[in-house]
A and B are shown apart, each in its own frame.
Chain A
Amino acid sequence: MDRTADIRVIPLLCPECGNRLSAGEDDVIFVCASCASCWELTEGSPARRELHHAGGVGDVRLPFWILPFQVTTREGAVGTRAAFRSLTGSLPVGDGGSDNGLPNLFVPACPFPSPPHLIRAGRILTLRQPAVAPIPCLPERIAPIVFREEDARNMGEVILLATVTEARKKSFAFLESFSFRPGKGMLCTIPFERKGPKFYHAGMNLEL
């Protein structure tokens, strides 16, 4: 009876320039190599997506979902970077931007060797709160994008909790009152230097 859910094969061609998009097995967002436009398949047809690129040097660009967020705990609302720092107990490092802006959550959009690695990478960047200033460029090597914004929102809570100290998380009352509200996400690639199995960012002195 139900003949509507059969197999459908959609050739991935850039709607802008007509060139082939290259796609790995699990990619959800495709970057056109010739015109640098970025596409996501929604209900069978490609829809345009904004992809930003942070400046810096590196031989591979890792894509991240950057979500500004607000968090409420039993100690009150966290809506600024300064407040987030006091929640995590981390020190201000680097060029985190104004202390009064919304803190950003960094969720990897590319695959990592295992899910715990993924969370660790998100945690490190979120703790750092690096300022990301997109620059116009046409980057060469971008790691595949396998997570949609919705996935990033789903992973957000656990990455954020990973930044909080263990002692706090053991309190049931803390978790009970914890609520996380992500804002609209931005997809941005950050350049990294490849060092064996690890990625290194010289500007932030950071290893993933």
Chain B
Amino acid sequence: MNGAMAAAISCPQCGSPFSFREGTRNALCPSCGTSLAVSGEAGIPRFYLEERLDLPQARSAARKFFAVSGVDTGLVESLRFEKGKLCFLPFWSLKGLTVGWQWMERESVVREELVDENGTKRTVERRGPREQVFETVASPFDFSSPAFDCSAFGLRGIALAGAVLPLRGMDNAELERRGTVYDPVKGVDQVRREALAAARDRSRPDGVLRIRDGIRICAERLAIISYPVWRLTFTAGERMYPVVVDAVNGRILKARFPGCREIRLFAPMLVILVLVYAWTLQRALGGLALFAFLGWMYASRGLSPATLAGFFFRLTERREDISHG
């Protein structure tokens, strides 16, 4: 996103727009040369990502998903588009440095070379004494986490998208004309806790018996980034199917549809045909055919009334539901 013009941010000295990189603190006005500190009212700047899909494109992304993902074709034909709403969902972004230490105790492996009476060498791995390790942790850190209850949207993080797409300074009036701006409901303290937990988790190696750490996040830069998604509603009869489409890349974030049905009509019809024909040829032959069929059923599926009824009368079988997010 280097050099992306952020039209909504303008220099308070000369009024001209300037570019700003998320995760940095200051920018330079290219027109008047003033250095500018960018922050939010509470020290936290808010940005948004511009949507790249309009409503028809979002609808066609959803339709494409229906076609390729194995949603029941009968359902797809009867699905009607009802409404679509653009939503801007807030995410926390935290950048900084993780510094600290960790002390670990882990098992060590001792290799021993043994020579047997025939003179062949072989190495034996033996569990050695426990070893203690002290490590310094120091690395850059980039964390993002939803600032709202994301269970209904299927979107977990935006770290990647935020790094490559141009961000704009938050402009509520403009965004509310286009869609709904969701308020962050997760506070700063919670994000810091989550980020610290993620940082500790990241530097934790496997196979450790005991661990203690003193890891902290320094030079943190916090921002809230609003990410655009389309919430579409399709209906089939009385049933509504919500679909959430990423308004930046058209990915389906959340959808749940019944899967394809398999039609299994051939086997029951053929069995009936053979049984009736055998029975009309000769009653005994019919009895024999029936016996053979029941024998085959017994061997393959069982002979309970439910399985028999299922074999003849359940003509469609649903595959697993198509579920995203």
Contact = CB atoms under 8 A, between A and B. Distances in A.
Chain A in direct contact with chain B (Cβ < 8 angstroms): yes
Interface of A: 1-13, 20-28, 30, 41, 43-44, 114-116, 118-119, 146-148, 151, 154-155, 157-158, 161-162, 166, 169-172, 175-176
A23 B42 CA distance: 21
B136 A157 contact: no
Contact of A11 (B34, B99, B183): B34
B170 interface: yes
Interface stretch (B4-12, B158-166, B257-265): B4-12
A24 B26 contact: yes
B13 A6 contact: no
Contact of B12 (A3, A11, A26): A11
8 contacts: A5-B42, A7-B40, A23-B26, A23-B35, A27-B25, A155-B218, A172-B105, A175-B103
A161 B37 contact: no
Contacts of A20: 33-35
Contacts of A3: 172
Given A20-B33, A27-B25, A146-B219, A8 B39 contact: yes
Contacts of A176: 212
Contacts of B43: 43-44
A33 to B, nearest CB: 11
B26 A27 contact: yes
B199 interface: no
B182 to A, nearest CB: 10
Contacts of B169: 6-7
A1 B134 CA distance: 48
Given A11-B34, A23-B25, A114-B138, 10 more contacts: A4-B41, A5-B44, A6-B170, A8-B40, A9-B38, A20-B33, A23-B26, A119-B138, A154-B217, A171-B132
A12 B32 CA distance: 12
Contacts of A116: 136, 138
Contacts of A114: 138
B286 interface: no
Nearest to A22: B35
B36 interface: yes
A174 to B, nearest CB: 9
Given A25-B21, A27-B26, A158-B138, A8 B100 contact: no
Contacts of A175: 101, 103, 134, 212
Contact of A170 (B33, B98, B134, B172): B134
A151 B219 contact: yes
Contact of B38 (A8, A118, A157, A171): A8
B36 A9 contact: yes
B25 A28 contact: yes
Contacts of A154: 99, 216-218
A12 B138 contact: no
B200 to A, nearest CB: 14
A54 to B, nearest CB: 24
A115 B100 CA distance: 11
Complex A-B, nearest 5 residue pairs according to Cβ-Cβ distance, in ascending order: A115-B138, A7-B169, A25-B24, A169-B134, A23-B35
Given A9-B9, A26-B25, A41 B219 contact: no
B26 A7 contact: no
Contacts of A6: 40-41, 46, 169-172
Interface in B141-188: 169-172, 183-184
A158 B139 CA distance: 13
B62 interface: no
Contacts of A151: 218-219
A136 B2 CA distance: 40
Contacts of B224: 5
A23 to B, nearest CB: 4
- The interface centre, meaning the residue of A7, A22, A41, A146 with most chain B CB atoms within 10 A of its CB, is A7
Contact of B40 (A5, A22, A25, A26): A5
A12 B140 contact: no
Contacts of B28: 23
A7 B172 contact: no
Contacts of B55: none
Interface in B222-241: 224
B36 A10 contact: yes
A14 to B, nearest CB: 11
A114 B138 CA distance: 8
A171 B104 CA distance: 10
B108 to A, nearest CB: 13
- The interface centre, meaning the residue of B38, B47, B134 with most chain A CB atoms within 10 A of its CB, is B134
B36 A11 contact: yes
Contacts of A43: 43
Contacts of A148: 219
B27 interface: yes
A137 B240 CA distance: 74
